[in-house]
Structure 1
């Protein structure tokens, strides 16, 4: 488990709310899948957690992420990783958010995938109320990027493609920590206004409504 908070000010939104960029890697795309990696950054603050899944990693997910399980140990591209139980990982994540003062959580395509996965894990361990106390909601950067770049001929709105187009760099995608670091740089390069950003905010409770 990597849980690093240096003594410096975190990034913040024009509204005054701290921003946390987060991402999950999972055993697959279905409802019964497990979280393998949970990563978050806010400025120089970071939180990186690995969990041994309770179900098999689907072949497609393994091919994309490089995760595998052998003899009850988690590996990434053949290297063994330290893991913590899911409830301990969630508690560490909540502690990270609490130290940043009820931040807004940002991620790419999170309304469709990451947030439902996170919500199921929080509900399984009766942590939804605790999560709501330490966070101010979510902002999905996928529809935000579509709004900001709609007149620039952008062909793909996958995060990798956006980072390549906007920042002019490539990075090792599908590692949650690398993804959130890249997304943080991408978000500040896009320079959305507070109004543009707030248009794409939501909460766990509001996810039952269809995304616009």
Structure 2
């Protein structure tokens, strides 16, 4: 696998697929990408997948097996996929974790899962902070008068391309391309950084080492191999 540049390695884009959008939903799939390196893992949830989520994503559980568009997928326990995610982050040297609408959805779901397995402290030590591209891009693109800030609409508006939305691996790859095209400044990123402990509070500027420019650069370690499996789904919100 070809190595990506150091600046890209210091940012990880991630997305979750879940059983629904309610407060008690569970993880079905987790995808992450940094440069050319990616992670894509599935787990059988402990609760049923809501019919509306299944209709959008194609996930079903039958006889304790997970199916994606009627095809069985390999799964691991929730602990195993979270431990693999933490290892992915640690290999990149405490990267910035970036995702679309993660402050209100993905990160609270992730936090509940980490807390349930006593893994939050390890996660906290594995990242330099989190950034939600939904408010970030609203600020960056406020002059364009966009009606929708769904990720697929932003990709179409900025990059002029369409992609398979609600597929987590495609979602994170598309977000990485969008992020690279727009190149948010370190100062802007600092205004949007949060942690699992502060995600429910009003956003305030945080002093953090942000990838992209010196002296704010915090380069991650190179990853020499990719890990994960095939495609999966993702959730978006305006």
TM range (shorter): over 0.9
Query: Which residue among 18, 34, 40 is the counterpart of 1:26?
Result: 18
Larger relative contact order (CA 8 Å, sep ≥ 6):
2
Partner of 1:168: 160
SS of the aligned residue for 1:28 comes to: coil
Task: Structure 2 unaligned segments of length 5 or more: list them.
Answer: 205-238
The separation in 2 between residues aligned to 1:102 and 1:65, in whole angstroms, is 31
Aligned-pair distance for 1:20? Answer: 0.1
Distance 1:207 1:59, change over 3 A: same
CA RMSD of aligned residues (A): 1.4
Partner of 1:51: 43
Partner of 1:69: 61
The separation in 2 between residues aligned to 1:122 and 1:8, in whole angstroms, is 29
The separation in 1 between residues aligned to 2:19 and 2:186, in whole angstroms, is 35
The separation in 1 between residues aligned to 2:196 and 2:55, in whole angstroms, is 30
Give the TM-score normalised by the residue count of structure 1: 0.92
Moved >6 Å (runs of 4+): none
Task: Structure 1 unaligned segments of length 5 or more: list them.
Answer: 1-5
Paired residues for 1:2-21 under 5 Å? 6=1, 8-10=3-5, 12=7, 18-21=10-13
Partner of 1:111: 103
Partner of 2:171: 179
Alignment pair present for 1:200 and 2:195: no
Give the TM-score normalised by the residue count of structure 2: 0.82
Number of residue pairs the alignment of both structures matches: 204
